[in-house]
Amino acid sequence: MTFLEYREQARTFESFPKDISVAYLLLGLGGEAGELQNKYKKILRDESGLLTEEAVLEMRKEIGDVLWYLDRLAESLGSSLEQEARHNIAKLTDRHRRGVISGSGDNR
């Protein structure tokens, strides 16, 4: 499945007011990312960090939810996952070329 195919299907599940879409999507993204982090936190606490097949499947479900919010947010901001993936690779390539891939700061 391509990002475009994903977008076409993902948008059919929207159920939020368009006038608050960016706020709603940002909060949803944070919530789903938090759920993913919380699942891993419990694995660290309860399973000494052992990633069982079941734990991986549960984490992957949350990754899918994060992806949905990212896709919907990208479109709400006039972009796409494909476009942002290209921009990110270009940014990382430039940082790597300049030897600042492991530095800190957004504009290095």
Instruction: Please state, rounded to an integer, the average pLDDT across all residues of the chain.
Output: 95
With residue 47 as reference, give the H or E element that holds it. Answer: helix 21-47
Q: Which residues contact 26 (CB under 8 A, 6 or more apart)?
A: 73
**Dist. CA 23–CA 27, nearest whole Å:** 6
Task: Domains for the chain: give ranges and CATH numbers.
Answer: 3-98 (1.10.287)
pLDDT > 80? residue 103 = no
First to last CA, the chain: 34
Tell me, yes or no, if the pTM score tops 0.75. yes
In this prediction, residue 6 has a pLDDT band, given cuts at 50, 70 and 90, of very high
In this prediction, residue 105 has a pLDDT band, given cuts at 50, 70 and 90, of confident
Q: Which residues contact 34 (CB under 8 A, 6 or more apart)?
A: none
